[in-house]
Amino acid sequence: MITLLDDQMVVQRVLDHIDKQTTDLGDQVWREPVENYLSHERFAAEMELLRRYLIPFCPSAALPENGSYIARDAAGTSILAVRGSDGVVRAFRNACRHRGMQLADKSGCQKGFVCRYHGWTYGLDGRLRHVPHGYGFPVLDQDTRGLAPLPASEQQGLVFVSQRDAAPPDANLKSLPLMVSSRHKLRRSTEIEMQANWKIFAEGFLEGYHIRSLHRDTFYPVQFDNLNVVESFGTNSRIVFPYRSINKLREVPAAERTADGVLTYVYHLFPNVMVATFPTNIAIVILEPLDIDRTRVITYTVTDRPSDQSEAQAEVKRGEDFVNLGAIEDQEVACAIQRGLKSGANQFFEFGRFEMALSHFHRALDAALAKIGFAE
C-alpha cells in the first residue's frame, strides 16, 4: 500500500518546482496506438472491464437520507442505488422481476418502489413486498424474486458498485486522505453527452502541459503551466495542479502549511472516475462510455459551505462558473481530437515524460484488459 504525500510535502515540492522551473517527470514516454480509440472489439472489452470493477457510482451525499435513490445507466446497465431504512446503501439492477420494467428514473426519495406497469412493489431492501392479484401466480416465491442485487459499499464519501461478483475494495484507497467528508452536501448533478471516446476525455484531467496553450484566459492566469506533482497508488493516480497563490506559503512555517485554496487535487480512480478538489467545492466526474466516439459525462458537485448563507453560496457559484469555463475548453478539445482520429495523420499518440499519469493510466488499462482475456 502506497502512502501519498501530505499537504506540507506537496506544497514544498511545488515551491521547489517553481524555484527550479521544473515539474515531475516520468521515466519514459508512452506510445498509445490510435486504433485503441477506434476499435469496437477493444471498446467491448473496456465495457466488460467497467462491469467487473468496483467503481464509484455517486457520492454518498447524493443519498443523504433513508429512501434516497439514484437510478442511471453505468457501463450500459440500468442500476438503482438506494439508502435503506437501516441507513445502508444497496444497489440493484433497475428492472422489475415480473416483466423487466425499469422501476425508477433519475433521483428522488421514497419508501419503496412500485412498478408502474403492473404494480409489483419492492421495499428499500429490494424485497418483493406485494403482487396485485397474487392468486394469478400460484408458484411465485416472493422471497426469491426481489430485485437483483449488486455488490455495493461506501468508502471515502463515495458509493461504489460492481456489476459482477463482489470485487474487493481497492486497498490503495485506504491510504488516501478523506476525499469527500460527511460535511459535504450535494449541490447539483449534471449530465452531458460528448462526441468523444471516454479515454480522450479522461486524459485531459491527467496533465498540466496544456494549461497555457488551451486555458490562456481561464486557468492559466491562476495556475502554472506544466507544473504538477504526480503520484500513483495502484492503478490510480493523484495529480496536483497548484495555483500561483501558493507562493504566499513561503512565509508560513512548513508544519503549518495547508493545501486549502492553493491547489487542486485530481484523483483518478481507475478506470473512469475523477475527483477534483476546488476551494469551494468538490467535483466527482464519472465517464460512462456509450460507444467508441460517445461518452456520457456525469458530474456531481458537493460543497461544505453553509447552504443557508447567501454569501457562501455565491462564492461557491463563482467557483463553479470559473471551473466550467475551463471545462468547456477541455470538452471542445476532446471532440476535436475525436474528429482527428480518422484523419490517418497518427498511428499512435506520444505521451511525453510530462504526461506520466497518462502513461500510467494506459499501462494499467492494458494490464487489466489482458487479465480478462483481451489480446491486442
- DSSP labels, 22-41: -----SS-EEEEGGGGT-HH
| pLDDT confidence of residue 1 | 63
| pLDDT confidence of residue 270 | 96
Q: Degrees (nearest 5) of the Cα angle 285, 75, 184?
A: 30
| Domain residue ranges of the chain, discontinuous segments joined by + | 7-54+181-371, 57-161
Chain CA centroid to CA 13, Å: 26
Question: How far, in Å, CA of 301 to CA of 224, rounded?
Answer: 24
| pLDDT confidence of residue 166 | 62
CA distances from residue 17 to 96, 243, 277, 375 in whole angstroms, order as listed: 56, 13, 21, 40
State residue 359 phi and psi, 5-degree precision. Answer: -60, -40
Per-residue pLDDT of the chain (376 residues; tens, 9 = 90+): 678 999 999 999 999 999 999 999 999 999 999 999 999 999 999 999 999 999 999 999 999 999 999 999 999 999 999 999 999 999 999 999 999 999 999 999 999 999 999 999 999 999 999 999 999 999 999 999 999 999 999 999 999 999 987 667 788 887 788 889 999 999 999 999 999 999 999 999 999 999 999 999 999 999 999 999 999 999 999 999 999 999 999 999 999 999 999 999 999 999 999 999 999 999 999 999 999 999 999 999 999 999 888 999 999 999 999 999 999 999 999 999 999 998 999 999 999 999 999 999 999 999 999 999 998 7
| pLDDT confidence of residue 2 | 74
Question: How far, in Å, CA of 57 to CA of 78, rounded?
Answer: 12
| End-to-end Cα spacing for the chain | 30
Residue 76 · residue 48 · CB < 8 Å: no
Residue type, 139: V
CATH (one of 3.40.630.30, 3.90.380.10, 3.10.129.10, 3.40.1550.10) for 7-54+181-371 = 3.90.380.10
Residue 148 · residue 93 · CB < 8 Å: yes
Which CATH number applies to 57-161?
A: 2.102.10.10
Question: How far, in Å, CA of 57 to CA of 161, rounded?
Answer: 6
**Alpha-helix residue ranges (DSSP H) falling in the chain:** 7-20, 40-52, 198-203, 211-214, 310-340, 356-371
Note the pTM of the prediction, 2 decimals.
Answer: 0.96
Question: How far, in Å, CA of 326 to CA of 313, rounded?
Answer: 20
